[in-house]
Amino acid sequence: MGETKKMLRALAGETQAVPPIWMMRQAGRYLPEYRATRAQAGDFLSLCYNSELAAEVTLQPIRRYGFDAAILFADILLVPQALGADLWFVTGEGPRLSTVTQQRDFDALKPADAIHDTLAPVYDTLRILTDALPSDTTLIGFAGAPWTVATYMIAGRGTPDQGPAHALREENNALFEALLERITDATIDYLSMQIEAGAEVVKIFDSWAGSLQGDAFENYAVDPCRRITAALKQKHPTVPVIGFPREAGEHYVGFARKTGVDCVALDNSVDPEWAAANVQVDGCVQGNLASSHMVTGGQALVDDTRAIVRAFSGGPHIFNLGHGITPDADPDNVQLMIDTVRNGA
């Protein structure tokens, strides 16, 4: 305790009159300085593995806006790449990977503890940031949740309904579960190393948790997150963990209790008043302004920002969007959101 950083105070359970604020994808294509550095790096993956430039883009939104937290610049798909999958990005379409659908694909993957050669530049990025960040800015590390990462490894790309991953878990559950376990083990190692390199908080992104229903949600969203959190807490008991089971709906209720995470990040399909009554009762929540406001701005942005701050004002809260900011966002709208949270709510 005795924390001075606003972000860490919220994660320790403190209610603050003005919540800390940061933004998913705050280093991204809506910023001209990001586009310039990305061009200098060559492409997105080269930027992820260039520690100096990855640290530079992480710092850009901190310099411009003074956010309370900086999130490591990297990608959730670096873990599959470190496990031996081929990974590339198709401009305008998104990620592509070699697929894991057969036992022989799984057998070709590397063991979990073999990921660090590939991921060493990520740890260097965190070391650079630890020295470079302002003293009141919290450094966040992250990884994808096993289910979300598995959906990309199985389909070889993003899919609207995660169909191929659901098909594999029905048709070859042993293979599916072995893959999930490999990703879980790798994620524990990866996040531990991120913490050792300077991450003060880690966040687990389960972008496709919403397509898991009933027992499947318990087995493939809750359980891996619980295992990762428990393993991290054993090694690094003071480092807070944020869970983001995006579009979990009713499954947000009790998620913190079941998994042991210190904070639950909410997507913007969740009503803030409902979440205050049903999720924030268990501790800190993060969210949840619709990222479309960063495109459209105006009074609607101000009104929704105020409503979220007000709804969560009775407990620990970290202000954020409900999903990443999009490339067509207007940087001035980000400033308007920040001003509303800090001065006008």
Q: Can you give the binding site for ligand CP3, defined by CB under 6 A?
A: 24-29, 38, 44, 71, 73-77, 94-95, 142, 144, 158, 205, 207, 324
Residue number, 188 or 311, with CB nearest to ligand CP3: 188
The answer to whether residue 152 is catalytic is yes
* Tokens representing residue 323 in the block: 């999903």
- Smallest gap from Cβ 213 to ligand CP3, in A, equals 19
- Smallest gap from Cβ 37 to ligand CP3, in A, equals 10
- Smallest gap from Cβ 170 to ligand CP3, in A, equals 23
| CA–CA dist 140, 157 (Å, integer) | 26
- Smallest gap from Cβ 54 to ligand CP3, in A, equals 9
Residue number, 23 or 345, with CB nearest to ligand CP3: 23
Q: What is the DSSP letter of 257?
A: H
| CA–CA dist 137, 250 (Å, integer) | 33
E-assigned strands of the chain? 69-71, 87-90, 94-97, 138-144, 201-206, 241-245, 263-265, 284-289, 317-321
Residue number, 82 or 345, with CB nearest to ligand CP3: 82
Residue number, 28 or 283, with CB nearest to ligand CP3: 28
- Smallest gap from Cβ 207 to ligand CP3, in A, equals 3
What region does 99 belong to: left with phi over 0, alpha with psi -120 to 50, or beta?
Answer: beta
Other C-beta atoms closer than 10 Å to the C-beta of 40 total 12
**Considering 30, 65, 152, 220, which one is annotated as catalytic?**
152
The answer to whether residue 157 is catalytic is no
The answer to whether residue 75 is catalytic is yes
**Considering 9, 30, 68, 75, which one is annotated as catalytic?**
75
**Considering 9, 30, 34, 38, which one is annotated as catalytic?**
38
- Indicate the Cα dihedral angle 34, 36, 41, 45, nearest 10°: 40
**Considering 25, 169, 182, 227, which one is annotated as catalytic?**
25
Residue number, 20 or 28, with CB nearest to ligand CP3: 28
Bond from prior residue into 172 cis (ω within 30 degrees of 0)? no
Which residue in 237, 261, 268 sits closest to 316, CA to CA? 261
Catalytic site positions: 25, 29, 38, 75, 152
